[in-house]
Amino acid sequence: MISFSYSQVKNSIQEKGINDTIRVAVTRDDYGDMIPWIPLQDAYVNNTRIFLTPQARSLFNRLRYNVLKVLPYAKFARNRYSRLNEQLAETTDKKEQKKLVKACEKEIKDMFNKEIKNMTITQGEILIKLIDRETGNSSYELVKELKGGFTAFCYQSVARVFGHNLKQKYDPQEDRDIENVIVRYGYYGNYPFN
């Protein structure tokens, strides 16, 4: 004699709970089979980096140190710039907009004036690139938009004296070592603004 037993059956009628069914999007292929769409997180495959010389290893380690040092400033700039844009969009009064820009500038100066002044030239170049990566605008464009064309020209002139270019754009292919450091150390993987 064969007998069957059922688990979690109440009075021979199965009751479905809230979490018994999971709905997913599906696609029907050429053979009529249903293929579910299940979103997965991005998986990054990184190989062990092999350096040809000890100097190459040292240069990469220095770049990594510099990127990780200036990245928080670039992220702060992105957040503060987006908050400023939201505030500027709420008002049409030019005097109020100037007050908001000055308040933003003062906040940034009070927070980071000493740290930014103590940056090396290389860290400054990386910061300029990362600000472009984070905001989508070069440093020159940001200054021109917020402070005017003449001020942007003056800042660009001073930056050129010290070997910088505020108009420099971030290119993830050209600056792949910087992008590699950002992704590898868990900041975020997608370019441009996340």
Structural domain includes residue 117: yes
Q: How far is CA 189 from CA 46, 65, 137, in A?
A: 13, 18, 19
Structural domain includes residue 145: no
pTM of the model: 0.65
Structural domain includes residue 48: no
Structural domain includes residue 19: no
Amino acid 66: pLDDT: 92
Average pLDDT, the chain: 79
What range does the domain containing 97 cover?
54-136+171-184
Structural domain includes residue 141: no
Q: What is the pLDDT confidence band of residue 11, given thresholds at 50, 70 and 90?
A: low
- For residue 4, pLDDT over 60 is answered with no
What DSSP designation does 18 have?
G
Amino acid 52: pLDDT: 92
Amino acid 193: pLDDT: 38
Q: DSSP for 84-147? A: HHHHHHH---HHHHHHHHHHHHHHHHHHHHHHHHT--HHHHHHHHHHHHHHHSS-HHHHHHHHH
Structural domain includes residue 41: no
- For residue 1, pLDDT over 80 is answered with no
- For residue 114, pLDDT over 70 is answered with yes
Amino acid 5: pLDDT: 53
Structural domain includes residue 96: yes
Amino acid 3: pLDDT: 53
| Each residue's pLDDT tens digit, 28-61 | 888 888 888 888 887 767 677 888 999 999 999 9
| Each residue's pLDDT tens digit, 60-98 | 999 999 999 988 888 888 888 888 888 888 888 888 888
Q: Long-range contact list for 37-45, CB < 8 A, 24+ apart?
A: 42/189, 42/190, 44/183, 44/189
Q: How many domains does the chain have?
A: 1
| Each residue's pLDDT tens digit, 144-163 | 877 788 888 888 888 888 77
Structural domain includes residue 67: yes
